[in-house]
Amino acid sequence: MNMADRRQKLELTWIGKDERPRLEPRILLEDPELSFHAPKRISETDLFDNMLIHGDNLLALKALEQSLAGKVKCVFIDPPYNTGSAFPQYADGLEHSLWLSLMRDRLALIRDLLAFDGSLWVTIDDHEAHYLKVLLDEVFGRSCFVASVVWRSTDNSNNDAKQFSTDHNYVIVYGREPGWQPKKLAETDKRSHFRNPDGDPRGPWFDGNPLNSPKPRPNLKFDLIGPNGDVIKPPKNGWRWSRETIAERMATGEIRFTPDGKGIRRRTYLADMKGLPPSTLWADLEQGTIGRPNMN
């Protein structure tokens, strides 16, 4: 067996992995006394305005399969982190092999529920995060991995920690299919930078985006002459654009000389902002404790 074949056969194994629960189709029964329906459905697939299911979540996922398979756009789960702690509601210390089996069975059903453009978001911490990542690779496929988000889970570090104060958890994100993409985020945190003191017809703007080339470009290393005859030297890698392009952008006002005439600045407009991809570091969230529901 060559090395390529061996790599293809690598997988996470554990005691009891081949044992799977036998699940029969389930029917959800509505409790009218606990139900409230909006006067008008959003769509024909909107069987319930909202649905709160009481019972074993594995059986609940199986019950949803018949009506929602391939239709769910987003799934968020907050499974037990398997920290070994004992909480009033449940014991968070399953034997590792049992935890993997319980997660595998549920993840497989969730994958079947997701739409082609759906995604799964799982909160977890270091106790099982790395095993969960490998398990998700097996269930969804490594090509469906999107990101491992680090989010600050506390605003108070543990000063009594003997090694490190653990101040973060994870959100592991997978797409149902490879290439899943989130929506871009508006640059709301940068809107305060935009002003329009001179009544620019293109709207609010700010100065500061770099004019240098990201890579060395010898052909873009040329001097510019300021309005007072000052020589403006190029950045180390050269300018971002050719002399002709800079002249064109100066004519539109996007690039202009600094007040002293010894440099140039680029004007960036709010109207041109296309949004940003979400970051994998969530350090500015309002802090709180996420509950960890029992899996049984």
Residues 204 and 176 in one domain: no
- Provide the sign of the torsion angle of the four alpha carbons 104, 121, 132, 90, taken in this order: negative
Given 182, 214, 236, which residue is the final one in a domain?
182
The residue written with tokens 């985006």 in the block is 209
Name beta bridge partners: 114.
72
Q: Are residue 262 and residue 232 in the same domain, yes or no? A: yes
> Residue 277 falls within a domain, yes or no?
no
pTM of the model: 0.66
CATH number at residue 175: 3.40.50.150
Q: Are 151 and 170 in contact (CB under 8 A)?
A: yes
Q: Does residue 63 lie within any of the structural domains?
A: no
Task: Please tell me the predicted confidence (pLDDT) of residue 192.
Answer: 59
In order of 34, 45, 50, 51, 82, the CA distances from 37 in angstroms are 10, 14, 8, 10, 37
Asked whether residue 172 is assigned to any structural domain, the reply reads yes
Helix, coil or strand: residue 87: coil
Question: In terms of domains, do 132 and 198 share one?
Answer: no
For 237-258, how does the pLDDT look when each residue is reduced to its tens digit (9 = 90+)? 899 889 999 999 889 888 889 8
Same domain for 169 and 80? yes
Listed as own residue / partner, the contacts of 58-63 with beta carbons closer than 8 Å and 24 or more positions apart are 58/21, 58/23, 58/102, 58/105, 58/106, 58/109, 58/295, 59/23, 59/26, 60/26, 60/28, 61/106, 61/109, 61/110, 61/113, 62/23, 62/24, 62/25, 62/26, 62/109, 63/25, 63/26, 63/27, 63/28
Asked if residues 74 and 119 have their Cβ atoms less than 8 Å apart, the reply is yes
Let me know if 167 is exposed, middle or buried by CB neighbors in 10 A (0-12, 13-18, 19+).
middle
Helices (H), the chain: 3-9, 57-68, 96-113, 129-140, 243-252
Q: How far apart are CA 148 and CA 172, in angstroms?
A: 5
Residue 198 and residue 137 share a domain? no
- How do 168-175 and 145-152 pair as beta strands? antiparallel
Assign 207 a pLDDT band (cuts: 50, 70, 90).
confident
In the predicted model, is pLDDT for residue 117 greater than 80? yes
Considering the domain architecture, whether residues 118 and 81 belong to the same structural domain is answered as: yes
Residue-wise pLDDT for 121-138, tens only, equals 999 999 999 999 999 999
Residue 184 confidence (pLDDT) = 79
Question: Of 182, 211, 227, which marks where a domain is finished?
Answer: 182
Task: Tell me: pLDDT of 90 over 90.
Answer: no
Same domain assignment for residues 177 and 192: no
| Domain of residue 251, residue span | 188-272
Residue 128 lies in a domain: yes
Does 9 fall in a domain?
A: no
pLDDT tens profile 258-282: 889 898 888 888 777 777 788 888 8
Residue 289 within a domain: no
Give the Cα separation of 237 and 29 in Å (integer). Answer: 68
| Structural domains counted in the chain | 2
pLDDT tens figures, 26-55: 888 888 888 877 665 555 555 556 788 888
Give how far Cα 59 sits from Cα of 32, 81, 156, 176, 230, Å: 21, 21, 39, 21, 76
Percent of the chain with pLDDT over 90: 38
C-alpha pair distances (Å), 139 with each of 24, 127, 136, 294: 21, 20, 5, 22
152 and 82 inside one domain: yes
d(CA 13, CA 158): 35
Domain final residue, candidates 153, 182, 211: 182
Q: Are residues 206 and 151 in the same domain?
A: no
- Are residues 126 and 193 part of one domain? no
The pLDDT of residue 146: 96
Q: Is 171 exposed, middle or buried (0-12, 13-18, 19+ CB in 10 A)?
A: middle
- Is 57 inside any structural domain? no
Could you list the beta-strand ranges (E) of 50-196: 72-77, 85-86, 91-92, 114-124, 145-152, 168-175
For residue 295, what pLDDT band results from cuts at 50, 70 and 90?
Answer: very low
Which runs of consecutive H residues, i.e. helices, occur in 121-269?
Answer: 129-140, 243-252
- Is residue 4 assigned to a domain? no
Shared domain for 78 and 178, answered yes or no, is yes
Q: Are both 177 and 83 inside the same structural domain?
A: yes
